[in-house]
Amino acid sequence: MSDLPLVEIAYQSLRGQLLDGAYLPGELFSESELAAKLGMSRTPIRAAVSLLEKEGFVQTLYKRGILVKGIDVKDLYDIFDLLGALYSFALDRIDSDVYELDLKAMRQHYEQLVRASEGQKYREYYENGLMFMRTMLAAVQNRFILETFDLHRDKLLFFVVTYRLTQGANRPYTGRKLYEDIYHKLEQNQYMEAKAIIQQHNRNMREDLMRNGITRTS
């Protein structure tokens, strides 16, 4: 039996289901449904939903249930811009100063990403890609950069998983080559080349979104 408070158990369980794509944007579910699944009263469920509501994942609708929210398109593009800026800054610092990249950890995340792609596990695939990039950011030893990354990581993960599930996975595992290429450049201390690969990937992602009608309007 877990020693965690019931609210934390409910929160982690529901958050995990959202990130796995078990509930997709636009779907409704109820407190009673969740309480029955987890074998607990509605009180900790209500508190867990409130936490997720503050994070922007869900919205409680009076007498209708709990609505799974999608990611606002402008927010999505803003997150892409933010993370791209963090990656570029980190690589500029690594290139100009003495920082030690944890290449072993990056390699482990890459290998886990490959295994997840072979098993068609969307969340694990994208999650390890993000952790690969987080490990690179960690090299510059700036906790505010990591806190900023962590604040937006799961929102991006939620979008990518649900986007692939709802729009079709036409190119779901192309990141294998991307992360391998980045890793090899970092391994060879070719930091500006790694930066160029990341920037090109970001441009490709934007083009992919626009082709599918996900356009930033402001």
**In three state form, how does the secondary structure of 92-118 look?**
HHHHHCCCCCCHHHHHHHHHHHHHHHH
- Average of pLDDT values for 172-184? 86
Span(s) in the chain for CATH 1.10.10.10:
6-68
The CATH 1.20.120.530 portion of the chain extends over: 73-211
Distances from the Cα of 113 to the Cαs of 118, 175, 202, in angstroms?
A: 9, 9, 19
Q: What fold characterizes domain 6-68?
A: Arc Repressor Mutant, subunit A (1.10.10)
| CA dist., res. 183 & res. 194, Å (int) | 8
Side-chain-side CA neighbours of 142 within 13 Å: the count stands at: 14
Q: Tell the CATH topology of 73-211.
A: Four Helix Bundle (Hemerythrin (Met), subunit A) (1.20.120)
Q: How far is CA 82 from CA 75, 77, 119, 130, 174, in A?
A: 10, 9, 31, 14, 22
Residue 170 vs residue 4, higher pLDDT: 4
Band of the pLDDT at 1, cuts 50, 70, 90? very low
Asked if 68 contacts 18 with a C-beta cutoff of 8 angstroms, the reply is yes
123-127 average pLDDT score = 90
pLDDT, tens only, 58-115 = 999 988 999 999 888 888 889 989 999 999 999 999 999 889 999 999 999 999 999 9
pLDDT of 106: 97
d(CA 33, CA 8): 18
Mind listing the pLDDT tens digit for each residue in 13-69? 999 999 888 899 999 999 999 999 999 999 999 999 999 999 889 999 988 999 999
- In b/e form, how buried is each residue of 64-84, taking b as 16+ CB within 10 angstroms? ebbbbbbbebebbbebbeebb
Residues of the chain above pLDDT 90, percent: 59
User: Which amino acid is present at 159?
Assistant: F
Mean pLDDT of all residues in 118-126: 87
